[in-house]
Structure 1
Amino acid sequence: MSKKPDKPELSRNDTEEELAHLALQEQQTHPAEALLHEFQAQQIELEMQNEELRRTQAALEETRDRYVDLYEFAPLGYLTLSRGGTITEVNLTGARLLGVERKQLLHRSFDSFVIPEQHDRWNRLLSNTLQRSGANSCMLTLAKDDGECIQVHLDSQSLMTDGRPSSVSVALTDITLLARTEDSLHEWQQFVEYASWGMAIGDVTNQTLKRVNPAFAKMHGYSVEEMIGKKSIDLFASESKAGYAQYFNTLLDAGYHAFECVRLRNDGSTFPAVMDASIIKGFDGKANYIVSVKDFTERKDAERRMRELTAHIQTIREEEKAIIAREIHDDLGGTLTALKMEAYWLAEELSASNKAEPLLRHVELISQLTENAVNVTRRVITGLRPTILDDLGLLAALEWQAEQFYKHTGISCRVNGIEDKDKLDKQCSIALFRIFQETLTNVARHSGASRVEVEFHCCDEEAMLSVSDNGCGLPDGHTVASTSYGLRGMNERVAQLGGKISFGSRPGGGYTVTATLPLYVDRRKEERA
């Protein structure tokens, strides 16, 4: 027996037609059964319609819930206001912005949150929104009930009923943080614009300037626009360009560097400056450097005048010492010598008489005291101004001082050197001799050395004095204390004459002080004149 082919699925319309056909046949043959069948068909149709309605309702509820969530938890505060400005609807974000529970906001005037100074602005916005179609906006400061104020951007739109505006839709955006950031940025911009020192930002990669303040441009003799894109190295004077690579590498390694340099102006003139530089990252992640530049011309001039004044005072002191030494030598020294000779004469006269023996002892005591006074006078004169320095020159004075040092301390002190007295002026001689004296004092007090080596050389351009001992030296990282007046005095003496001085421990122990002074022909001519 052959298999019957499957019947194709019937559509809803086909089913209804078949049922209707069957129903017609049943009505003709069995009226009651036909009526029951019709009721069953209608029940099936109603159930199918109900199922379709339930699916549609579920989709609508899902869509509604989604839009309610979007409304309630939107980042903006949404409010609906009556024509009089009373709050009729508000989302959760709006209630949170205003700091009041939502149910307490309803029927409350929005005007109560606007600060008094901006009531007119809000009233104009509300009136314009109700009178004109389209969106309106403004910035407002709202005061919460707890006294906190927030900055908001308000957008408003009228809602129409029967062709007339019946209410107002308002959207609030909290811009408090943005406003505060803008205020801070404005303050910093004002600070940078009106700062008395130069400030600039540059690109680390190509080392060019990206932004400068007016003070930076002015001190270099350019306009702000002319400075943009200029190479950093082009603003360094020739005497500082040699160290530019070291400056920049130190900045890259440490992230910060402060140093002194000489800057170059547009007209070719130069000025001394101190610079502070730091590495920062831009919003694009690229490294930039920010620098502040302070013109030190006035300070350097003040330092120069102070050095000149100090040098002048030092010269006067040395001259006064020389005058006092001469007066002591000529007056007091001569008087003591004469007194000593008179005592000798009196002693010889009294020695011939036995009766004068008690007086003779007093005369001998007077003679001894006079001798002691002569020795003290000689030491005072030497301390004030060694005559050997003026008579025989610096090298002889150094050798004499080394011999005196050995006699008083027992520390060996050897001087090696060559001197040309015509090349060495009086100021240099005095300065190097005083530095030598102070160095020997420090050796005796602190070093524990047993030997001191002195090197002295004088050529056409400079004079050099180096004093080295074999003592304990200084530990690594040691810095000179502010109360080390001896070392500070040596630094000042050298600086006054435009020289250099260095202090450092020697390999294997010991300490070395090296002073170098330039020799100026003009200064020697002035002294001889």
Structure 2
Amino acid sequence: MDLDKPFSEKFIKLRRKAEKFLSERDEIYGKAVDEDPLKMIHEFQTMQIELELQNEELRLSQQELAASRESYVELYEFAPVGYLILGLKGLILKSNLAFADMLSIEREYLINRPLSAHIIVEDLNIYYRHLRNLFELKTRQICELSMIKRDRTPFDVHLESTLVLDEYKNIEQYRIMVIDISEHKRTQKQMAQYSDRLEETVDRRTTELSVLKKDLIIKMDQTRKSEERLRFLTRRLIDTREDECKKISRELHDALGQQLTAITFNLSTLRNDIPDFCKELLDDTDLIVDNMATQVRNLSLDLRPSMLDDLGLIPTLRWFINDFHKRTKIKIKLKAVELDEYRDENLAITIFRIVQESLNNVKKHAEATNVEIFLKREITRITGFIQDNGNGFDINEIFLTNEEKHLGLLGMKERISILGGTLNIKSGNGQGTRINIEIPI
């Protein structure tokens, strides 16, 4: 940049203004001499003081201008980017120190040399196109290319160019800003390499996960089939067990029960034909047969109450609960909604076994005094719960420590899962136990 041009123009204007003032003054003072010499002396003194004040003001302005010029020069010379002035032939007319430092060349060696001499051969076309667009379009132009240092080391730069026009709007010079973007380019390259490696890793891991997914799907399918097979076998086992229980129950009731009844009848017939000393023995025998009949009846009902098939679920539960209360003195409240007329053999035996197992657990472990049973048939499901006020237990502990103790609970869960239902147990030490059931219908 031409930093002295503004000063020369300013002094030329001051000189012209002074010459004009002098000619006007001579005309005025020529008349004043004829009129009054003292007045002219006063005017000269006034003018002298005015000139002194103007000189002082000019001196201060020159100091401020010099300080501003020094600051501007410092900013220009030591800016973090390079500044250039090119002539129309592409020669470097001016350069700041920053650009010279980029090239590792003394600034004096740059002046009047073509900028193209410091651009790598492969990027010369980019540079020439950049200047041509600047000249033709007369708008700011931007490009990126590679330059070479004094030791022939290449580095990447960002060029931003504008035109310098004279007072007649003619192109006088090119003003170019040069920014070293080598570090930025290196970072971009590293990021691209990292992105490529990351993409390769992702692709590799995706392939591995795809293989694992296929293996997992196969294993899950095998597990599902195994579970279905196990559930089928379990259901067959439960059905077989129920069938056997039904058969044994009927045999106990029909065969053994009838035989015990016959024995009781025969003993009653013999009572009138035996001597008195044998009647006490007969009474004992009669009592033994009665106890045996009761045990056979209870065993038959535990195996499979025949009324479950004859009367249905709810009447059977009421009979069982009443009998359980007589034997244990535990108060049991049963409430059934929309189930009195509902008949489904698999569902009935499942709910009966769950109630039976739950009450047996209450008797053996809970030390409860009250039990509440609630069952409700809805449109698509049967829901309900069995809740006692007993000791409760730690669910996690009982399933981990004592296999035999929770076989009944596992059996209940397995039975209900076969029907597609769920059984949820909530309990805690000293908090009682609640068993929630839900079975689709």
Return the TM-score normalized by structure 2: 0.49
Which structure shows the higher strand fraction? 1
Relative contact order higher in (CA < 8 Å, ≥ 6 apart): 2
> Over alpha carbons, which structure has the higher Rg?
2
Return the TM-score normalized by structure 1: 0.41
Which structure shows the higher helix fraction? 2
